[in-house]
Structures are given as C-alpha cells and as structure tokens.
C-alpha cells in the first residue's frame, strides 16, 4: 500500500489472529498503522491496531458513514451493517472466533 486508506475504507485482514476478517478504517495510529473496527468483536471503543502491510484495501465505504466516524458519532451497528452490505456476507474473524486458518 502506497498511501494510507481513507477513514471508512473497507479492508481485509491478511495476517494475525483476525486474518480473513473485514473491517472499516476508523483512525490512524502512525505512518504505517491504522485503527480498524467491525462493530462486533472489534467495537469502535476498542479498535484493533493493524500494520498496513497486513491489510488488503478494497474500496471506500459510504461517505455519510465515513463522516460520522470522523465526527465520532457512528455506532457499532452502523459499522457492522455497512460491512455486511459491502461484502455480502457476515464479517468473519480469525481463529479465536472458531474459524479454520487458510493454511
């Protein structure tokens, strides 16, 4: 990834315990790190810090939701619903949530 994704962008985790999961970018934690949440096991109050090398950027999320995230007015239900609509399936987590690794 050349530039960091925008707030509200849909990303797919490629590494770590949460690999295979879809998230929305909700903040920045440094030049190569972003904060992601999915509204379920990673709520907005406790976002996951992810290295950009461990993420695959898909596309920007809905502009109104991105603005609500920036203003800190978004709710976890909105995040989860947006991910379901963009992906078309329930968001999945890593091995902790009972998923098999892709090895």
| Domain definitions of the chain by residue range | 10-90
Q: CA–CA separation, 36 vs 45, rounded Å? A: 11
| C-beta of residue 58 within 8 angstroms of C-beta of residue 11 | yes
Paired with 27 in beta bridges are 35
**Residue 81 scores a pLDDT above 50:** yes
Confidence label for 91 from pLDDT (cuts 50, 70 and 90): very low
Q: What is the pTM of this model?
A: 0.78
Residues near 86 by Cβ (< 8 Å), separated by ≥ 6?
Answer: 10, 22, 58, 59, 61
Statement: residue 61 has pLDDT above 90? no
Token pair for 76: 């976890």
Q: Which of 31-40, 62-71, 74-83, 84-93 has the lowest mean pLDDT?
A: 84-93
Given a cut of 70, whether residue 84 has pLDDT beyond it is: yes
For the domain spanning 10-90, the CATH number is: 2.30.30.30
């Amino acid at each position: 990834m050349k530039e960091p994704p925008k707030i509200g962008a849909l990303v797919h985790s490629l590494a770590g315990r949460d690999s295979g999961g879809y998230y929305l970018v909700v903040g920045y934690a440094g030049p190569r790190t972003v904060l992601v949440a999915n509204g379920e096991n990673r709520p907005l109050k406790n976002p996951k810090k992810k290295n950009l090398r461990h993420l695959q950027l898909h596309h920007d999320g809905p502009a109104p939701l991105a603005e609500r995230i920036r203003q800190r007015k978004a709710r976890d239900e909105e995040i989860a619903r947006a991910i379901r609509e963009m992906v078309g399936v329930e968001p999945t987590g890593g091995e902790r949530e009972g998923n098999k690794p892709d090895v």
